[in-house]
Amino acid sequence: MQIDEILVSAFEKNFPGNDFSAVRALPATDPRFGDYQCNDALKLAKALRANPREIAARVAETLKETGAGVFDKVEVAGPGFLNLVVSPASISSSLAALASSPDCGIPQSGRGKRIVIDYSSPNAAKQMHIGHIRSTVIGNAIDRIFRALGYDVIADNHLGDWGTQFGILIKGYRELLTDGERENLTVANLEKCYVLSAAKAKEEDGVWKDACRKELVKLQQGDAENLALWRRFIDISISEFERMYSMLGIHFDTYRGESYYNDMMPGVVEKLVKAGRAVESEGALVVKFDDERLGVAIVRKSDGGYNYTTSDLACVESRVAEYSPERIIYVTDDRQQLHFRQFFAIAEEMGVKTKLVHVPFGLMSFQGKAISTREGNLIRLDDLLSEAKRRSYDIVKERGGDEKLAEAIGFGAVKYADLSHDPATAIDFSWEKALALDGNSGPYLQYAYARVCSLLKKAEEAGAAGVGDGSFAASTPAEKRLALAILEFPQAVVRAAEAYKPSILADWLFQTAQLYSAFYQTSPILKEESDTRAKRLNLCRLFGEVLRKGLSLLGIETPERI
Ligand code: ARG
């Protein structure tokens, strides 16, 4: 709605020459205060050197003229609040505008801008486990949200596909796998052979460890056989990862792992040395920071090898040169915060102008238990998704639901369980919560959508789907609350993007679905006379559309029948 603009010009008219760009109408916390409240008269009193109540009164007088047709009532309350009651007709016309705009009113503010999102990024030759869910699911939601805003998004999977583990793997592959395993090589076999080989590399005599190191050196020097093996390990890993991603409806534009930047690392270090930024320390090359909290970053180890920092520095230069993105977003767990702070600081010094953003997320525990590699209670992602499907199938089969529906619900439940929380917080995954039909869950929202579809179908069958005059119900308190919430949809998407928190959108979805349910329970639809019925049906249909769009931005499917 244009409410903010009307407010801003009313302030400007009374107090010309001041900056009112921050003036906002906020949804009223209590319906007794109207639909919206504005408290900017209080905030601006000092700057305007006027009494807040007087400011509010003057603005209110103006609003009665300029906002005629939009506001049914403008009131000054308490020390200087403006309480606004919006007219049903103007809400209806805003809803009509939202309904007819192509993307449910999502502003195309990203047009012409490119961004890179680096997410999921598992290590190759290992199976994905539940520890990989968060980066994958949060990253993908951010990816979808930015695309919806019109950004040209490059989703890049920064695989961990280079490093010492490949010497261990190659040696293990040659000597610890059977012919059959080598022929039908799977990621599970690679993982097994890594574990066995790494254990042998710990043996006292050091013979195995030496042999692993030799394989690694051969690989690094471009030995054809080792390179071919490495390539095969990577290809098998990617196709296994893609099996997971396709279940989750996720697509990456590129899979440029760390190896892609291998040849660029010496150049980066050379640059840092020339600029006097990298200095020698105990045989290694390090970057020191003025800011003590940043500590020291190693860019070349004492054995001459490069590390994670060097590789990310090479990577950022390459991305900037190739794509000229407006920003690059990295989604990883919060234990990598220091790494990103260090590497962003160095990148800036090296002249990288692109905005670099780290979106850190908290740890996930599973059914109240910490997930730990040590204790071996790592649940494979594959198994988790199968279980999600199985559990959902148990729920839907009685109603005639099939496996496809079970996948939509099960996978949606897993995603929403994560996305409904602020990424920065630690979360606990539990099947009960994730699949609860009556709580803040994926299935609850999918069910709300299916109910709208079934209502519209019933209306159609009764010959009552009529759009009427195209207007929307926005008169009763329940209608109004739902209608105003729907109008907030574009802003919810914008705020989710600005904060890199899909949870903002998830909150909006849940709250709006609850308002829908309150409306539905108190407002007869099909039994109503044709005019009211059409207006209410129009409101339901639009709610269904924004719900579907919103869930799609979280990567959650919306089956029409459950
Ligand atoms: N492979 C890393 C890990 O498993 C994540 C990589 C994140 N991206 C990056 N450019 N550092 O933790």
- What does the pLDDT look like over 361-393, one tens digit per residue? 999 999 998 887 666 678 999 999 999 999 999
Q: What is the pLDDT of residues 272-301, one digit of tens each?
A: 999 999 999 999 999 999 999 999 999 999
Tell me how far CA of residue 163 lies from CA of 119, 160, 196, 219, 288, in angstroms.
20, 8, 18, 10, 25
Q: Judge whether 358 and 107 are in contact, CB under 8 Å.
A: no
Q: Which pLDDT value is given to residue 376?
A: 66
Nearest atom, ligand 1, residue 339 CA: 11
Rg (CA), the chain: 28
What tokens appear for 167 in the block?
């010497």
In eight-state DSSP terms, residue 129 is B
Q: Name residue 451's amino acid.
A: R
Mutation to probe ligand 1, out of 258, 332, 337, 359 (largest number of atoms < 8 A from CB): 332
Pure H helices in 2-82: 3-14, 40-48, 52-66
**542 backbone dihedrals φ, ψ, rounded to 5°:** -70, -40
Show the ligand 1 pocket: residues with CB < 6 angstroms.
118, 121-123, 158, 160, 312, 315, 330, 332
Q: Which pLDDT value is given to residue 234?
A: 98
Q: What is the pLDDT of residues 211-260, one digit of tens each?
A: 999 999 999 999 999 999 999 999 999 999 999 999 999 999 999 999 99
Q: How much distance in Å is there from the Cα of 332 to the middle of ligand 1? A: 7
Average pLDDT over residues 435-447: 96
In eight-state DSSP terms, residue 380 is B
In eight-state DSSP terms, residue 16 is T
The superfamily (CATH) of domain 384-553 is Isoleucyl-tRNA Synthetase; Domain 1 (1.10.730.10)
By C-alpha distance, which of 70, 69, 68, 40 is closest to 56? 40
Q: What is the pLDDT of residues 138-180, one digit of tens each?
A: 999 999 999 999 999 999 999 999 989 999 999 999 999 999 9
Distance CA 140, CA 553 (A): 9
**333 backbone dihedrals φ, ψ, rounded to 5°:** -70, 160
Q: How much distance in Å is there from the Cα of 158 to the middle of ligand 1? A: 6
Average pLDDT over residues 59-70: 95
Q: How much distance in Å is there from the Cα of 344 to the middle of ligand 1? A: 14
| Residue carrying structure tokens 């979106």 | 359
Q: Which pLDDT value is given to residue 32?
A: 86
Q: What is the pLDDT of residues 452-505, one digit of tens each?
A: 999 999 999 988 766 778 899 999 999 999 999 999 999 999 999 999 999 999
Contacts of 441 (CB under 8 A, 6+ apart): 413, 416, 417, 420, 433, 434, 435
Three-class secondary structure of residue 471 per DSSP: coil
Q: How much distance in Å is there from the Cα of 257 to the middle of ligand 1? A: 9
In eight-state DSSP terms, residue 431 is H
What tokens appear for 150 in the block?
């019109």
Contacts of 160 (CB under 8 A, 6+ apart): 121, 122, 123, 124, 257, 258
Q: What angle separates helix 530-553 from helix 477-487, to the nearest 10 degrees?
A: 40
The superfamily (CATH) of domain 114-159+251-365 is HUPs (3.40.50.620)
Mutation to probe ligand 1, out of 129, 158, 381 (largest number of atoms < 8 A from CB): 158
Mutation to probe ligand 1, out of 336, 343, 378 (largest number of atoms < 8 A from CB): 336
CATH class held by domain 3-86: alpha beta
Q: Which pLDDT value is given to residue 463?
A: 84
Q: How much distance in Å is there from the Cα of 125 to the middle of ligand 1? A: 15
Q: What is the pLDDT of residues 110-143, one digit of tens each?
A: 999 999 999 999 999 999 999 899 999 999 999 9
Q: Which pLDDT value is given to residue 372?
A: 75
- The domain locations on the chain are 3-86, 114-159+251-365, 165-221, 384-553
Q: Is 291 exposed, middle or buried (0-12, 13-18, 19+ CB in 10 A)?
A: exposed
Average pLDDT over residues 72-87: 96
What tokens appear for 466 in the block?
């009529």
Task: Pick the residue whose CA is nearest to atom 3 on ligand 1.
Answer: 122
Q: How much distance in Å is there from the Cα of 499 to the middle of ligand 1? A: 21
Q: What is the pLDDT of residues 18-52, one digit of tens each?
A: 999 999 999 888 888 899 999 999 999 999 999 99
Q: Judge whether 315 and 356 are in contact, CB under 8 Å.
A: no
Distance CA 535, CA 540 (A): 9
Average pLDDT, the chain: 95
Q: Which pLDDT value is given to residue 29?
A: 85
